[in-house]
Structure 1
Amino acid sequence: MKNWAGNVEYSTDDVRHPATTAEVSAIVAAADSAGGRVKALGSRHSFSTIADTAGTLVALDRLDAPPTLQFGDDGAPVSVRVGAGSTYAQVGAYLADQGLALPNLASLPHISIAGAIQTGTHGSGVRNGSLASSVLALEIVRASGAVEVVGEHDADFAASVVGLGAVGIITAVTLRVQPHFQISQYVHQGLSWTAALANWAAIMSSGYSVSVFTTFQGENTHQVWSKRRLDVDGPELDLAALGATEATVALHPLPGVAADSVTGQLREPGPWNERLAHFRSEFQPSHGEEIQSEYLIPAEHAVAAITALRAIGDRIAPLLHISELRSVAADTAWLSPSYARDSLAIHFTWKPVLPAILAVLPLIEHTLEPFAPRPHWGKVATMSPARLRRAYPRLDDFAAHVRRVDPDGRFENAYLKRVLSHD
């Protein structure tokens, strides 16, 4: 079995599909008694080997029980409890029908709730934190098979919410909700890098969610996607006055790809769950035949980092489908790539040429080193454990937490062994 992009082949044929927390607990307890290894497997959208194991894979696809709303003292809904294997598309559709919303979505609505949260996945927006920042509680099956609920006020929460699958198997997640809202999405082309960098902060804060697509070559950016909330966003930044041209037909972010799969553009208002993601859930997302990498740096270094990457654009562009630049607000999860700092996320959607990618990533990481880059846990990177410790200041604390809750390494795999080592 492989991940959706086909670059990771899982190291076991022992794949279970439990439908209840009790079934997950029994599988983990049996592995604990036998001294085996066990890992959770979400929607298989990770490009790293974070979910691989030679032991038992616990697929979350059947842990998608209908969402359950929870209400405050005033009778208003405040949160929703969802199965860990539920996708953001499923939960989004349910909440929209209830007149409710989540604050943000990633580019793909196809991803599982637990997998996205555990790897630090995010959307875009200077005021929007990672997807983990919406979590109020996690239901976790520990190494013994015991079930615990870790809430936002518990001491272990910051170490658990972006937990890399190392602290147990998440079986349910409680998410904070808010009233439903609508988004208007539109795309500009031909914005020069001179204008973009001179106005970077204004551009990134000009909408509820903004993405800039590029190949790091040429004098112009490729596209600027603006997603504006109809209820809260202020005056619009006039990108045309900066030299850009607004698209009059829907566009895919990847050059030459038909726009059938993208969410509604051309300023047509639509519900949050049908606009915040870039791709519609009924289509294959992005390109499919691809590999992804991503690094987050402090937002204040955005212009300098982009300039540095443009200087090596001739090494990057031949391997790219496209790169996307987004903003992510700071959060409190220890291993979130946006932990304690507002960030610029630099995302690379690569052609499926892994050897060439592995050859260029050290150059990219070296170029970004002055800006303290943090790699996304679910994507391909080559940073050493020593560099990861410099990037993630709570990584040693996290490793200590993992040793406490999983002393026998029941959820350990080669990826975690490397990440949590001092070599």
Structure 2
Amino acid sequence: MNKRTFLKTSSALVAGSVITQLSACRDADARTNWAGNLTYSADNLHNPATIKEVQKVVKIQKSLRVLGSRHSFNAIADSDENQVSSAGLNKILALDKADATVTVEGGIKYGDLCKYLDDNGFALFNLASLPHISVAGACATATHGSGLNNGNLATSVIGIEFIDGRGKVVNLSKETDEAFNGAIVNLGALGVVTKLTLQLQPAFSMKQLVYKNLPMAVLEKNFETIMASGYSVSLFTDWRNKNINQVWIKSRCEAHDDVKIEPEFYGARASVKNIHPLEDLSAENCTEQMGVKGPWYERMPHFRMGFTPSSGKELQAEYFVPLQYGYEAMMAIEKLHEQITPHLFISEIRTMAADNLWLSPGYNQACAIFHFTWKQEIETVMGLLPLIEQQLAPFNPRPHWGKLFTLYPEVLQSRIARLEDFKKLMAHYDPEGKFRNEFINKNLFGA
């Protein structure tokens, strides 16, 4: 983690603003990420709204990084010199109903895309817990939802366009280009993503049920069965008393289906009202529960687009391990409950299908995923992460690219099978290293 960046931390929440002018500007107020834990180093923010404007910025500048919806908790999007905002590249460009695909600009947010797709009879295959994130940023960091049969969000991409380090327009197709699988989860290291084409499926309805107080012991022989009990399943725990606080089960359904809520699920009891993952908070900003049917995009995320998600000021970390070690990894973390719980808002346990994207934590392996939403106590949290990583070490954990972690670079690099191939892509598309920053240099090249 960039020490200088953390010395510039701020507790202010970012409401977000769109700056429309193309020319670089120096903000009167320092720019922070969404949670307010990170103040960006770059003074210059460029705000292109067209491909030609992006090309102009890239050709002129010697060093730059793309800034999306600011939902990363580390310095992956930071730059010592220039940031290029994707906020102005937020259009839906084409819907191909025959091929069931949509082409969008990289800066569009999932929440703004989903209603359009549903109105036209289509759906995405999965969504993250937040609909507030940009499509290009989510794909670049292998952001995900949950579900044994659902890959990360980048697995829906079948075509990508980006402006490379020379300012050239590059188009890659899943069908025809060998480099495609290396270019989707790209960490912003190949260029500025201007367009993505996503594979769609027919629109569908979903329902969501929540059960409370599932004993962790039940998962020893039923981990995968429980995680397969819906289209998307999440387990929330604060690691107290070897207990899963809440089980969220999101299931496909037909409009005419009768909704029956079973009172018990593996010993957990059905909730009698909508609840927030942090049960003391209002459920107003959460998606509808209690088996109420609704469109896919209003059930797959945990939080509604029109509300501030999660708890507000927070820090996040997340680790991926092979699915077959899900229960063992969970119990390894549980041994740290006395250290973890006082500094934690909540943990979420999810699953993800395997994929073939080179920098994805799911490359050639299905994953169990352990997410931590921490209180904004940066020094304490950065001291706890090595303990968690040590507990997970027998399972070769991979971190989420956009969240906090402390793995040594050489350890992280050893777990990325196609790292050298990705470095070749970087050399090809960004030979001058314009899109490299401290995060990239440390984690992909450092020792």
For the criterion TM > 0.5, the same-fold answer is yes
Quote the residue 1:181 is aligned against.
204
Deviations 1:11-67 (A, max 9, x none): 112111111111111110111xxxx20111100000010000012111011101134
Instruction: State the Cα distance separating 1:255 from its structure 2 match.
Output: 3.2
Question: Is 1:19 matched up with 2:49?
Answer: yes
Quote the residue 2:117 is aligned against.
95
Q: In the alignment, which of 430, 434, 444 is matched to residue 406 of structure 1?
A: 430
Taking the aligned partners of 1:292 and 1:111, their CA distance within structure 2 comes to 15
Taking the aligned partners of 2:442 and 2:427, their CA distance within structure 1 comes to 14
Quote the residue 1:338 is aligned against.
362
Q: In the alignment, which of 34, 39, 47 is matched to residue 9 of structure 1?
A: 39
Instruction: State the Cα distance separating 1:302 from its structure 2 match.
Output: 0.5
Question: Is 1:141 matched up with 2:163?
Answer: yes
Q: Secondary structure at the match of 2:104?
A: strand
Taking the aligned partners of 1:101 and 1:41, their CA distance within structure 2 comes to 26
Taking the aligned partners of 2:262 and 2:148, their CA distance within structure 1 comes to 18
Quote the residue 2:222 is aligned against.
199
Taking the aligned partners of 2:36 and 2:330, their CA distance within structure 1 comes to 30
Taking the aligned partners of 2:357 and 2:220, their CA distance within structure 1 comes to 30
Taking the aligned partners of 2:309 and 2:94, their CA distance within structure 1 comes to 28
Contact 2:100 2:122 in 1 (8 A): no
Distance 1:397 1:101, change over 3 A: same
Instruction: State the Cα distance separating 1:298 from its structure 2 match.
Output: 0.3
Question: Is there any run of 5+ residues in structure 2 with no aligned partner, and where?
Answer: 1-30
Compute the TM-score of the two structures, normalised by the length of structure 2: 0.90
Question: Is 1:38 matched up with 2:64?
Answer: yes
Instruction: State the Cα distance separating 1:396 from its structure 2 match.
Output: 2.4
Q: Secondary structure at the match of 1:285?
A: coil
Question: Is 1:212 matched up with 2:220?
Answer: no
Q: In the alignment, which of 145, 149, 152 is matched to residue 130 of structure 1?
A: 152
Identity across aligned pairs (percent)? 42
Taking the aligned partners of 2:213 and 2:318, their CA distance within structure 1 comes to 24
Quote the residue 1:386 is aligned against.
410
Question: Is 1:370 matched up with 2:394?
Answer: yes
Q: Secondary structure at the match of 1:61?
A: coil
Contact 1:42 1:112 in 2 (8 A): yes
Deviations 1:121-172 (A, max 9, x none): 0000000000000001111001111111111131111111000000111011
Contact 2:59 2:165 in 1 (8 A): yes
Quote the residue 1:311 is aligned against.
335
Q: Secondary structure at the match of 1:277?
A: coil
Taking the aligned partners of 2:265 and 2:82, their CA distance within structure 1 comes to 57
CA RMSD after TM alignment: 1.7
Deviations 1:354-400 (A, max 9, x none): 10011010110010010110000000000111111222121222123
Taking the aligned partners of 2:265 and 2:160, their CA distance within structure 1 comes to 47
Question: Is there any run of 5+ residues in structure 1 with no aligned partner, and where?
Answer: none
Letter of the 1:110 partner, please give it.
H
Distance 1:329 1:241, change over 3 A: closer
The number of residue pairs the alignment matches comes to 414
Taking the aligned partners of 2:375 and 2:418, their CA distance within structure 1 comes to 33
Distance 1:157 1:410, change over 3 A: same
Distance 1:239 1:342, change over 3 A: farther
Q: Secondary structure at the match of 1:261?
A: coil
Instruction: State the Cα distance separating 1:244 from its structure 2 match.
Output: 1.0
Q: Which deviates further from its counterpart, 120-129 or 16-25?
A: 16-25
Taking the aligned partners of 1:61 and 1:375, their CA distance within structure 2 comes to 26
Q: Secondary structure at the match of 2:129?
A: coil
Quote the residue 1:223 is aligned against.
246
Quote the residue 1:111 is aligned against.
133
Letter of the 2:392 partner, please give it.
L
Quote the residue 2:292 is aligned against.
268
Taking the aligned partners of 1:384 and 1:262, their CA distance within structure 2 comes to 36
Contact 1:67 1:94 in 2 (8 A): no
Q: Which deviates further from its counterpart, 41-50 or 398-407?
A: 398-407
Contact 2:242 2:334 in 1 (8 A): no
